[in-house]
Homo-oligomer: A and B are copies of this chain.
Amino acid sequence: MTTQADGAKRWLAQVYVSLKPAVNDPQGLAVRDGLHMLGYDEVDGVRVGKYLTLTLSAPDQATAEARVAAMCEQLLANPVMERYEFQVSEADGEAQPRGEG
């Protein structure tokens, strides 16, 4: 756990933003058609969303989570068409987003 001079800790937030089920997903349809053209006919549905990793400092996990939720509401997700989900974990030294190392 990295603790900075001001006592704040570093956190890694993994945010998943996806379209609400009722919203059309032309990008998903395009990917599905592309997969079909490549011979992956077994795929019947594709939905495309955003995966963001943020590194931030906060005194504790609850504060970090509250701030990330506010960031999602204000900027990272469009509340009309999208929904979001996130996980906050301690960033050990070098942040380790998904798939790292």
Contacts and interface: CB of A to CB of B under 8 A. Distances in A.
Contacts of A53: 18, 45-47, 49
Contacts of A99: 16, 18, 83-85
Interface in A38-75: 38, 40, 42-58, 67, 70-71, 74-75
A81 interface: no
Nearest to A37: B75
Interface residues of A, number: 42
Given A40-B67, A85-B99, A99-B83, A55 B45 contact: yes
Q: Give the top 7 A-B pairs by smallest Cβ distance, nearest first.
A: A51-B51, A85-B99, A45-B55, A49-B51, A43-B56, A47-B53, A42-B56
